[in-house]
Amino acid sequence: MNEKPRQPAEPDPNQPGQTALELINTGAEWLRGTGRACDVVVSSRVRLARNLAGFPFMPRASRVDRQQIVDLCHHKLVEAELADRLLWIDLREVSRLDRNLLVERHLISQAHARGKIGNHSVTGGRTGEDEPRAVAVGLPGERLSIMVNEEDHLRIQVVKSGFALAEALTEIDTIDDRIEARADYAFHPRFGYLTACPTNVGTGIRFGVMLHLPALKLTGDIEKVTRAANDMSLAVRGFYGEGSEPLGDFFQISNQTTLGKSERVLLHDLEHEIIPKVIEYERVSRRQLLERRGEAIADQVHRALGVLTHARLLATDEATRLLSQLRLGVAMGLIEKVDQQVVHNLMLLVQPAHLQRASGRNMTQAERRIARAELVRNRLAEAMTRRT
């Protein structure tokens, strides 16, 4: 990965991997575990799908087109001064491990890591790891990320810790204006911002709230939430978005329609009507669980902490499940020795690419289990010493 100063400059082939480590060490703002309703809401994100006027969309863009789009975006995004530091990562120049690390940090999609066009298979379309594509990451804090040449030319994303959709919208709106001041977007009076997939056309906006809903999962009421959300044209997805399974009781709720409703109306529906109801539903369920099965819940979250602080072998799924229970314990005030930021950081650090990057070497699955258990033990021990 290459770090870029604000001024456009030649690619700097400095030590690849340095930046990956820097990302791990400085941390993403959305992992802080702070903000409104942070007992239930992990993060709030807004993304905009945008295409540049004058270029074909990704499925029909030639390699030359794609390279030109990357070059143009590199120049324009750096020039627009969108963050204190904008890290420009040409995805062809980084290892598969580092691309996976970016996926685990929610900075790029799985499709983008592999050089595919969204989740679509395009006949005769050029896809593959060598395809010109990039991501720009706003530092510090990783609040901003812009995928270049994913399903659309630009996929702009802003993420915040806690329930902060309105703040995220304000921020992304400014960023969008700054880019638009330098580059023409494909726009149509009737259809709005034009996107490769018509399901994104119009505002091109997707609000997404990542919620931790262990109590609703436990009571089975999560099904009701999913059904109600679907009735309101909202999607309920897993930890890693489209096509991913719910992992450790984390769910993302996002809008599916982008045409005919303005950004403000969509925001209002989610921020004031839908999400607060889900948050309240989860809180009520947690309280009821405490009242009716207090000992059982306390036992479960302390067992989770016990395993995490003592296990010698940990698989990703098991670690994630236990960390989810630990998060519940922290949110309910049952565990005071650990804070949410530590739990959130561990949620990422136990993922395969993070684990290998943090350990500084590639490992087999068996080696990873040992390293994962060791890392979790050490981090939790460190965090608990700090708190006492």
Binding site for other proteins (CB under 8 A): 51, 53, 55-60, 117-118, 120-125, 151, 173, 176-177, 180-181, 184-194, 196-199, 201-203, 205, 233, 256-265, 268-269, 272-273
Min dist CB 185 to other proteins, Å, is 5
The CB-based long-range contact list for 122-128 (8 Å cut-off, 24+ gap) reads 122/59, 125/58, 125/59, 126/62, 126/63, 126/66
User: Could you give the 3-state DSSP secondary structure of residue 154?
Assistant: strand
Under 8 Å between Cβ of 117 and 58: yes
Min dist CB 83 to other proteins, Å, is 20
Complex with other proteins: residue 104 or 152, whichever CB lies closer = 152
Under 8 Å between Cβ of 215 and 289: yes
Complex with other proteins: residue 268 or 337, whichever CB lies closer = 268
User: Could you give the 3-state DSSP secondary structure of residue 220?
Assistant: coil
Min dist CB 193 to other proteins, Å, is 8
Complex with other proteins: residue 85 or 188, whichever CB lies closer = 188
Complex with other proteins: residue 35 or 202, whichever CB lies closer = 202
| Cα angle: 85, vertex 143, 184; to 5 degrees | 75
Number of H helices, E strands in the chain: 13, 10
Min dist CB 195 to other proteins, Å, is 8
For the chain, state the CA radius of gyration: 21
Min dist CB 107 to other proteins, Å, is 23
Complex with other proteins: residue 130 or 177, whichever CB lies closer = 177
The CB-based long-range contact list for 222-229 (8 Å cut-off, 24+ gap) reads 222/251, 225/251, 225/278, 225/281, 229/253, 229/274
Q: What count of residues does the chain have?
A: 388
Complex with other proteins: residue 185 or 367, whichever CB lies closer = 185
Min dist CB 204 to other proteins, Å, is 9
Percent helix, strand and coil across the chain, each to the nearest 5 = 50, 15, 35
